[in-house]
Structure 1
Amino acid sequence: MPLALNPLDAAQLLTAFGTAGVFLVLFAETGLLIGFFLPGDSLLFTAGLLCTAAGGDVRLSLPGVLLAAAAGAVLGAHTGYVIGRRAGRALLARTRGRYLSDGVRRAEELLARYGHGKAIVLARFIPVVRTVLNPLAGMVRLPARTFALWQVAGGVMWTVGLVLGGYALGASIPNVDRYLLPLVAVIAAVSLLPLAREALRARRARTTVEQTPGGAK
């Protein structure tokens, strides 16, 4: 294990902890507010890639990764929901980090715009939002059965989709491990696109309000 493990480096995490790292990272990212910074998307994709011969020295089991990923995502989300249900608004009120505060705002907008089911599924694919939406759902007393149904569906879609995407790429392109770092960077950048889109939409909305007669000055 590296002496100075970088928690943002998916390849390092998988080299150090293997399949267990998949479970732990996804559980922390989706269940604990302190895990909002963890690289869920790139870790899933990289784990799928390391299930092929392209993994080189690190070779993971595809069934094991799929099971660990789904379990971490589902159990993490349920833990976040329980924490939010018990701690309530006080938990999120103590969230002073800018990224988490923005995530709370976007999660609330997502729930208002798409309704519970669609918002819970979509949140899985948006970094930070997938961390805060689960305690937020518990806080607003979303029925546990409704939350469980949609979070399981979203969790399985998110984890299986990214893991199989990495696996398919690793199995079809020879020596793809040479391009691991650029690929992970691309996945991380793509995962941030929903955040950028929401930020742009919010900025345009504010501009429209300010330009409207009688709007904010």
Structure 2
Amino acid sequence: MGLNLLDPHSLLSTFGAVGVFLVVFAETGLLIGFFLPGDSLLFTAGLLSATTATSTLHLSLPWVLVAAVAGALLGAQTGYWIGRAVGPRLLDRPDRPRLQAAVARSDAALKRYGHGRAIVLARFIPLVRTVLNPLAGTVHVPARTFTVWQSLGGTIWALGVTVAGYVLGSSIPGIDKYLLPVIGLIVVLSLIPVARELRRSRGQGTATEDREAA
């Protein structure tokens, strides 16, 4: 079976902890990575770290945690500097309404919550997590402020989601027997906030079109 970029198990069985770093880096640092399974990948990686060393797929928890945090922090910082360099051209894409809606929500979060709180909260919101970093660079959030808060938010998110998966895996004896159903459930649950964001973005786009038509 070939590699499936949307399947956490496929990514982890192919790349291991390195896959955690690559996916998290792309999802948080590159706009093209918005579709990647960040939350579900981290949770699944934690789950697979709780399997026995003789299991079909077993990951080392320390290496997974290092890869997750490194990907989260380096990805966000890369996204920020991309935004500083080419932000307006990158984010001003009227031909991509979902991207524009995510940009609008990220900008509203920055204005409503302030830089620090918005940067931390964005880590836990799919799509917004991808867009806010280059947006912060585009609107010239101070580099030091961004670095401090994204480091805090990225560390909490990466460690928290991964350790949650590990704790669940450790609490279920013989997790190997239920691995595929559990991973399937994780993927479905992780898609719920994504679907909500897409639905909200579509609703905002429709409202905008209605106002323009009026």
Distance 1:37 1:197 in 2: 12
Structure 1 residues 141 and 18, CA, compared in 2 at 3 Å: closer, same or farther?
Answer: same
User: One-letter code of the match for 2:61?
Assistant: L
Distance 2:57 2:48 in 1: 6
* Residue of structure 1 equivalent to 2:15: 17
Contact 1:48 / 1:164 at 8 angstroms: preserved in 2? yes
Residue 32 of structure 1 pairs with residue 11 of structure 2? no
Structure 1 residues 200 and 27, CA, compared in 2 at 3 Å: closer, same or farther?
Answer: closer
Q: Which runs of 4+ in 1 moved over 4 A?
A: 192-195, 197-204
Unpaired runs of at least 5, structure 2 = none
Once the two structures are overlaid, the 10-residue window that deviates more, 7-16 or 167-176, is: 167-176
1:115 is displaced (CA, Å) by 1.4
Unpaired runs of at least 5, structure 1 = 211-215
Cα-to-partner distance string for 1:43-94 (whole Å, 9 max, x where unaligned): 0011111112258211111110000000000000000000000102111113
User: One-letter code of the match for 2:176?
Assistant: D
* Residue of structure 1 equivalent to 2:41: 43
Contact 1:127 / 1:191 at 8 angstroms: preserved in 2? no
Alignment TM-score, normalising by the size of structure 2: 0.86
Structure 1 residues 110 and 53, CA, compared in 2 at 3 Å: closer, same or farther?
Answer: same
1:176 is displaced (CA, Å) by 2.4
Structure 1 residues 57 and 182, CA, compared in 2 at 3 Å: closer, same or farther?
Answer: closer
Distance 2:201 2:96 in 1: 22
Structure 1 residues 182 and 67, CA, compared in 2 at 3 Å: closer, same or farther?
Answer: same
* Residue of structure 1 equivalent to 2:147: 148
Matched positions, count: 207
* Residue of structure 1 equivalent to 2:112: 113
User: One-letter code of the match for 1:34?
Assistant: I
Q: Percent identity?
A: 57
